[in-house]
Structure formats: structure tokens, C-alpha cells
Amino acid sequence: MTEIKLHNTYTQRIEPLKPINTDGVVRMYCCGPTVYNYAHIGNLRTYIFEDVLRKSIIRAGLKIRHVMNITDVGHLTSDADSGDDKMLLAAEKEKKSVLEIARKYEDKFFEHTKALNIARPDIVCRATEHIADMIKFVEKLEEKGYAYFQNGNVYFDTSKFKDYGRLSGQNRKDLRHGARVEEDSNKRNPSDFVLWFTTSKFKDQILQWDSKWGRGYPGWHIECSTMSIKHLGERLDIHCGGVDHIAVHHENEIAQSEAFLGHKWCNMWLHGEFLQMKNDEKMSKSKGNFITLDTLIEKGYSPLAYRYLVLTSHYRAPLVFSYENLDAAASAYNKLKNKYAEFASDSGEPISDNAQKLYESLVDEFNGYLLNDLKTSQALALLWKVVKSKDLPSSLKVKFMDNADEIFALDLSKAEDKRQTALTDEISALIEERKQARLNKDWQKSDEIRDLLDKKGVIIKDLPMGEVEISFK
């Protein structure tokens, strides 16, 4: 077993990961997607980081139990307790039920993560299937004096939790002026947050459950505390998410969980930086300035070229997305695959002792980068050094690449991506031609092209706002 060191947001230090529980299994909880829309490639960057983390923990010789939630209850348009219900807005727009929306985007999420070779967490849990547990959780917080009922909602009293704000380094009083927490006259303190709503602000709030406080629905933060403790127990090794979750969501999770348990809950907090657009803007679902994996596929990119791009940056550094960057990544990725094929077809020269020793030291160096806070860009640079090396025979290069690919998961040994094969220039051109026909309201032509694509094994589904969803037979 080798030690793995990771940056802990809570302490602001790089620390060795030491499993807390006596069985030695690392318990990891990652905040999952809100399923009222597609996960965008920014969200997917965070899930790629978490996948590299999971694979690196396994590389360090540790066992892991990895849990992720699906936020399929109503979700507000802001992190605070205000705004519209995003799920309801999507249901109205797409003329579907709220649960149909949730399942549709959950399925899409797993289709995308699969295409990116992101391993499915050991347990995936839906918020709507844990409402009774959440109610019990809130009842206990109330019994312990951490929650209060005011004007139909149950609030968490942050003044009762002395460490509130520690993760983000914010003082509780500073939050008074914080832009992200909206004024609510029912709150005793500005940083208090809702645990259970019964006074729905939304017309036709659909997903509601009975509780001792009345019919209603849970606040967003309570789902992660409840499901994490239910599936991973009282002591968590790692909790992950994107940096946007630090200040409100994760701060609130800590307050609830530690108030509920009466002791420290999670040891290490890891946060992935944003994928940004060129103009410094965060890619965001609610702003609507986002790109999905389907868009990249439609443009002819392999999903794994995007994974390659993500690996070129460190997870704690922002990554700027542009098609020029993606083109460069796709070209390097293809070269890497071609090199693999070239080395694998080489009849082979004998492996000298020196070459064997060199190979072993390079593997150690590679592991060293990953096990020291997931330095993927350095590990990738080393992979290129191996590819270009004059001191290693092809067989050891292939062995090194296979070993690296256990973590990179770029399918280096596979000939060509199936999706990419399906999206030939001809098919991309047909999709584009159909888009134009639809813009010109030439429905007959649009249908003809759809039938033609269908014959070629490509299924096109039209979405509102002129978007299309592409799948393969």
C-alpha cells in the first residue's frame, strides 16, 4: 500500500488519506447532479475529477465505497432558499411530469458519464426515495434544539453551531452581506436555511410529502447529510463537489450532520475548480450558457477527447473551455492512440535489465504524481515522455500505457471510438442540413433527412429551442 495525499479544503493543507473506519474502507460521498436539465461539460469535469480520485485511491491499495445522490426533488434556482423550482419550470417547458423530467435527465447523465469512462459509484441514491429518512433527520435536529418552525417552514439555527463558516473561512455574521443568501424575515439569523418547506412558494408544487409540520418537501442540503449518513455511516473520509458548493451547500451539510451526530463527521473535503467559458464566465445550468456532451459528439468529437482535455489541467485550477483547446486535445489524443497501435503491432525486441529498471522508475514517477494530489497534467506529460523515449522497447511502452490507462481511462488500446465512427463527416453534414431545413420550416425535407439518418443507425430527437438529441442504434 502506498500513501495518497490530497488537498483538504477544511484545513487548507495537503494531507495523507487515512481511512477512519477500522475496516480500512474509504467512505466517499460526492454531490450528484440536479436532474432538471442536461449535466453540462462543466459538471462533467467535476465527475471526471472524482473518477480520477476514486481510481487513484484504488491505485494506492485502498478499498473504497463511493456514494452519489441524484437531486430529483424540486430544486430552487438559487443556492439559498429562494427562486423558482427548476424542476417544475423544466416540466412545464417540456410538457412532461416532474418525475419524467428527473428520470430523463438522470438517464442522460449516466449515458454521458459512461461515454466518459467515469465509473458508476457503488451506490447511487435518489432524494425522492429517502424522504422518510430526511423527515426523521429534521425531527432529531428539532429535538436537539438546532431547528425551529416559523411560518410553515423548519429552519436550521446556525447560531447554535459554533463552527458554522469554518469550511469556507467565512464568519457567520459576514453572511449577512453575502450576495448568495437572500433576506427571509422568518429566519433568526441570515445564514439560517430551510430544512423542510410546507409553505410552497410555487404554484402547483407537485412533489410533496406528509410530515408532522404539514405537507411539504425537503430543503436541498438535508438530502446529502441524510443519504451520506444512511449509506456510509457516521464517519466519512471524503466529501467532494465543485467549488461552488463550499460556501453554502457544504457548510450547511457540516452544520446539520455534526449537530445530528454530536461529533465530527467528515475528515477531508475535496473541491474541483470550474470549467469556464472564454470570457471568464462559469459554465452554468441556470445561466443557460452551457455545452453538453451531445453537442461535442454532434460536432464530431469523441467524448474521450474531452476527458483528455480535462486531464491536461489540475483539478484545483480553473480550465478554460474553447474549441481550439478541444481540437488540440483531440489531436493529441488521437496521436496517443495511434502510437499505442504502432507499439502494440511491433514484433518486439528483448527487454534489457536497464530498460526494465527504467520502466519501473517511470511507473513510480507516474504514481507519485497521481498520489500527490492528483497531478494529472504531470502524469500525462510523463506518458508522452515514455511514448517518445528511445530507451524503452515497444512492449514496455505498451505496458506503461496500459498501466496509465487504468486511471486515465482513455481507452488507448481500443481502435476507434464507436460514436466517432458513427459520426462521420457525412452524418454531421446531414444533421446540419436538417437543422437548416427546420430553420426554414421545410418540414418535409427535415423528415426525409431524419429517415435517412435512421437508416444509417443515427436516431435524432428534437428538443425545444431547436436542440437535438443524438443516439445510435
Rounded to the nearest whole angstrom, what is the least distance from the CB of residue 224 to ligand AMP in the complex?
Answer: 10
CA-to-CA distance for 226 and 128, rounded, in angstroms? 12
Give 106 or 142: the residue with its C-beta nearer to ligand AMP.
Answer: 106
Length of the chain: 473
Under the criterion CB under 6 A, does residue 55 sit at the interface with ligand AMP?
no
- Look up residue 222 and give its three cell numbers: 438535508
Among ligand AMP, Zn ion, none, residue 274 binds (CB under 5-8 Å by kind)? ligand AMP
Among 7, 19, 26, 33, binds ligand AMP (CB under 6 A): 33
Stretch that binds ligand AMP, among 99-107, 230-238, 241-249, 331-339 (CB under 6 A): 241-249
Residues near 19 by Cβ (< 8 Å), separated by ≥ 6? Answer: 25, 26, 27, 62, 237
Under the criterion CB under 6 A, does residue 45 sit at the interface with ligand AMP?
yes
Under the criterion CB under 6 A, does residue 282 sit at the interface with ligand AMP?
yes
CA-to-CA distance for 212 and 396, rounded, in angstroms? 65
Stretch that binds ligand AMP, among 37-45, 257-265, 402-410, 465-473 (CB under 6 A): 37-45
SS3 assignment, position 322: coil
Q: How many residues bind ligand AMP (CB under 6 A)?
A: 18
Query: Contact at 8 Å (CB) between 339 and 331?
Result: no
Among ligand AMP, Zn ion, none, residue 222 binds (CB under 5-8 Å by kind)? none
List of E strands, 157-261: 193-197, 217-218, 236-242
CA-to-CA distance for 75 and 153, rounded, in angstroms? 16
Integer-rounded Cα Rg, in Å, for the chain is 24
Helix axes of 353-371 and 394-408: crossing angle, nearest 10 degrees: 10
Instruction: Residue 54: name the closest of 303, 380, 374 by CA.
Output: 374
Under the criterion CB under 6 A, does residue 38 sit at the interface with ligand AMP?
no
Among ligand AMP, Zn ion, none, residue 118 binds (CB under 5-8 Å by kind)? none
Under the criterion CB under 6 A, does residue 105 sit at the interface with ligand AMP?
no
Rounded to the nearest whole angstrom, what is the least distance from the CB of residue 287 to Zn ion in the complex?
Answer: 20
Binding site for Zn ion (CB under 5 A): 31, 224
Binding mask 242-281 for ligand AMP (x = CB under 6 A): x-xx--------------------------x-xx------
Q: Which residue number places its CB atom closest to ligand AMP?
A: 242
Among ligand AMP, Zn ion, none, residue 43 binds (CB under 5-8 Å by kind)? ligand AMP
- Look up residue 405 and give its three cell numbers: 490507462
Give 131 or 224: the residue with its C-beta nearer to ligand AMP.
Answer: 224
Residue 409: strand pairing partners: none
Within 324-363, the residues that bind ligand AMP by CB under 6 A are none
Among 7, 65, 104, 285, binds ligand AMP (CB under 6 A): 285
Among 43, 191, 205, 376, binds ligand AMP (CB under 6 A): 43
Rounded to the nearest whole angstrom, what is the least distance from the CB of residue 37 to ligand AMP in the complex?
Answer: 8
Query: Contact at 8 Å (CB) between 341 and 398?
Result: no
Q: What is the DSSP string of 232-265?
A: H-S-EEEEEEEGGGIIIIIHHHHHHHHHHHSS--
Instruction: Residue 64: name the closest of 81, 78, 52 by CA.
Output: 52
CA-to-CA distance for 115 and 265, rounded, in angstroms? 34
Among ligand AMP, Zn ion, none, residue 224 binds (CB under 5-8 Å by kind)? Zn ion
Among 218, 219, 241, 303, binds ligand AMP (CB under 6 A): 241
SS3 assignment, position 13: strand
Enumerate binding residues for ligand AMP (CB under 6 A): 31, 33-34, 42-43, 45-46, 241-242, 244-245, 272, 274-275, 282-285
